[in-house]
Amino acid sequence: MNPPIPADTKLVISSYHRFTLWRSPPELAAAVRERWPEMRVMDLPHYDRIAAELPDADIFVGLMLRPEQLRVATRLKWVHTTSAGVGQLMYPEFRRSGIVLTNASGVHAPVMAEHIVGMMVAMARDFPGSMRFQSQSKWAQQEIWDGASRPRELSGGVALVVGFGAVGQAVAERLRAFGMRIWGVTRSGKGSPSLAERVFPAAKLNEALPAADYVILAAPETPETQHLIGAEQLAAMKRSAILVNVARGSLVDQAALIAALDKRAIAGAALDVTSPEPLPPESPLWSLENVFITPHTSGISERIWQREAELLVDNLERWFKGQALRNQVDVERGY
């Protein structure tokens, strides 16, 4: 089959989100138009016009395409999500559609890796405790040393990275510079030997947990990863261990985590994601002193859309040449 022709292609961009950074800027469409001025590129800042533009669209770029929208997109051949997660598209109609799906995996990896490292350093050095004492104008050197979250070093510790994709590998590279030992967990048990000294299959997660000083969740959200960390896994962790979650809140049984943190069965948790989001004000997580919460900001950076545009243009080049696309998602696995 001959590759598609830009002049015969209509691309629709629409990624409205309540958080302004996740809304695609005009520069994304501009980058495509500059490369292919003959292509029809519709840039919709809201979803209110999307239904009228989908019936003759060949490519859709955005965060979400609902089942009723998919039904009218009869010419659609490729969907590119501007997020790494694709759970919002894993409904039966899309899985059966045969539409090619790609995601933004790797776009957020550098900044997310920095965020993870920052959270780990903050927990290791009890920066949250220092901030609490700072708000009291108190020089609390002795109190911090005597506290439950006594400052420690990252060097020599074991970081168990659950999910060894773009984010997992990026954080492994950075943690190695701190002198940490990197263990990985992947679905298959295979991973880069240059980054991780040991790699476990997901089925053997419980065997890896007891040795970990930090458990970092960077795995995709799928039915298999639902409550990947529950009461059994938390009980298997060291009392001195810290859980870091930048994946999705659904990967953790939040009630079990709150119980473990409350009785200090583990030392603490650094959470960039929760279930639900936003985290309700009444959640006990807010008041636990061994919890460090960031409001799903690990992927935030002023450089995100530059990398999004580079990825999209590169994949469009491949599309028009009939080449394999980067970041193609296996819709059966959900990542």
248 labelled catalytic: yes
Active-site option among 277, 310, 317, 333: 277
Catalytic residue (choose from 115, 221, 296, 308):
296
CB 173 within 8 A of CB 180: no
310 part of the active site:
no
Backbone angles phi and psi of 45, in degrees to 5 = -70, -20
Catalytic residue at 277? Answer: yes
Question: CA-to-CA distance for 103 and 272, rounded, in angstroms?
Answer: 21
Which residue among the candidates 80, 115, 181, 248 is catalytic per the annotation?
248
Alpha helix ranges (H) inside 237-300 = 254-262
Residues in the chain: 335
Q: Is the separation of the CB atoms in 285 and 274 below 8 Å?
A: yes
Q: How far is CA 78 from the centre of its chain?
A: 22
The CA distance from 72 to 82, in Å, is: 21
Residues with Cβ within 8 Å of residue 282, at least 6 apart in sequence: none
Give, as one character, the DSSP assignment of residue 2: P
Report the distance separating Cα 182 and Cα 172, nearest Å: 6
Q: How far apart (Å, rounded) are the C-alpha atoms in residues 111 and 228?
A: 24
Q: Output b/e per residue, 198-230; b: 16+ Cβ within 10 A.
A: bbbebeebeebbeebbbbbbbbbbbeebebbbb
Rounded-to-integer distance, Cα 325 and Cα 335, Å: 14
CB within 8 A of 265, min separation 6: which ones? Answer: 234, 235, 237, 239, 259
Where in the sequence numbering do the catalytic residues fall?
248, 277, 296
